[in-house]
Amino acid sequence: MTHPRQSNLVAVGFMLLASALIAGTSLLAKAIGHGVLGDALHPLQISHGRFLFAFIAISCAVAVIRPRFTKPELGLHVVRTTCGWAGISLMFAAIAYIPLSDATAISFLNPVCAMMLAIPLLGERVGPVRWGAAAIALLGALVLLRPGTGSFQPAAFLALGAAAVMGLEITIIKLLSGREAPIQILIVNNTLGLIIASIAVLFVWQAPTPSQWIALAALGTMMALAQTCFIQSMRRAEASFVAPFSYATLVFVTLYDLVIFNTRPDAVSLIGAAIIIAGAGLLVWREARVKSSGFQPIPAPEHPPAQRDHRG
């Protein structure tokens, strides 16, 4: 029998690894979309590569594991996958224009968006603490937009849009998680995502360079590994315990951006990110205060930061 403390440590390790891999996918997307490895590729082509190679990686895992599948709820899967594809495409577009740290910080708004969407879609009730946490996080996003300054970042609205649709994705995942196995949700998601991305990329396709093909393959594989690590982390510990460790993604992307692109976060970026993390962290604390039985971990969305079960 695994000791709870040992299980928690393993869960933290998996979450930190997932965070490092997610940060790596953002770095690769920025390099591909920034023209570092050849002529810049369109965000839709980058997201196509993400789904293509993630599908290959997950299909290989399915072939080895040979899990039992049940009849999927295709309607929910289509909505979830469309949100995931749109969110990842918007995020890849955003990081081509703004620092990785800013885009990643804004992505931490996705659980806030999920909380808001859970009210009309899931009939959940939200108390003053959670509304306050949402307000704090949204204030941080406003800081990162830099309104009224010469450094106003309109591209940050792309990241905000990504957070919004990923919030909807989280809500749909919650509906699916109690009905289908995580591996089934992953393979269906990536299959549908590949179909959607393949249609969209027809309008912007250009032949990638060999270096870009390698980067796209690495991006898709890293995303599949990140989702796997995320699920393993959530299976081994309470979501409210491991969720804060996903904020390490911000540390990793800041480090990667500094080393590779020599981009240093300014004071506004640091303040905005801190405010968003404070708001999202308050939500995590609130969930830790809610005692509920029968918690079921849920599969990872496209960008897993601050993922948890939304209750209370």
**Sequence-ordered alpha helix ranges (H) in the chain:** 4-33, 43-65, 74-94, 100-107, 110-122, 128-145, 156-177, 182-201, 210-236, 239-242, 248-261, 267-289
Quick check: is 71 in a domain?
A: yes
Question: Are the C-beta atoms of 96 and 163 separated by less than 8 Å?
Answer: no
Structure tokens at 174: 């919650």
For residues 174 and 164, give the distance between their C-alpha atoms in angstroms, rounded to a whole number.
16
Report the number of distinct structural domains present in the chain.
Answer: 1
Residue 50 belongs to a domain? yes
50 alpha carbon, distance to own chain's centre: 13
Identify the sign of the CA torsion 234, 79, 221, 55: positive
Q: Return the sign of the alpha-carbon dihedral for residues 10, 13, 17, 23.
A: positive
- Supply the pLDDT for residue 40: 92
**Alpha-carbon distances of 56 from 80, 218, 229, 251, 258, rounded to whole Å:** 20, 12, 17, 29, 31
pLDDT of residue 310: 35
pLDDT of residue 230: 81
The two structure tokens encoding residue 18:
């997932």
Considering the domain boundaries, does residue 310 fall inside one?
no
Q: Which residues contact 147 (CB under 8 A, 6 or more apart)?
A: none
> Is 189 within the bounds of a domain?
yes
Q: 10-residue block means of pLDDT along the chain (312 residues)?
A: 67 89 91 89 95 93 89 91 92 87 83 77 76 84 70 78 86 78 87 96 94 95 88 74 77 86 82 84 69 46 48 36
Confirm whether 149 is domain-assigned: yes
Token pair in block for residue 197: 């991305």
Q: Is residue 297 part of a domain?
A: no
* Whole-number Å distance between alpha carbons of 167 and 107: 10
pTM: 0.80
The pLDDT value recorded for residue 232 is 81
28 falls within a domain: yes
Identify whether 309 is part of a domain. no
Query: With 0-12 CB in 10 A as exposed, 13-18 as middle and 19+ as buried, what is 251?
Result: middle
> Residue written as tokens 């929910």?
76
- Whole domain around residue 167: which residue ranges? 7-289
Per-residue model confidence (pLDDT) at position 297: 44
pLDDT for res 152: 60
Residue 154 DSSP SS3: coil
How many CA atoms lie less than 13 Å away from 149 in the CB half-sphere? 10
* Contacts of 42-46 spanning 24+ positions with Cβ under 8 A: 42/201, 42/204, 42/206, 43/89, 43/90, 43/92, 43/93, 43/96, 44/89, 44/197, 44/200, 44/201, 44/203, 44/204, 45/201, 45/204, 45/205, 45/206, 45/208, 46/89, 46/92, 46/216, 46/219
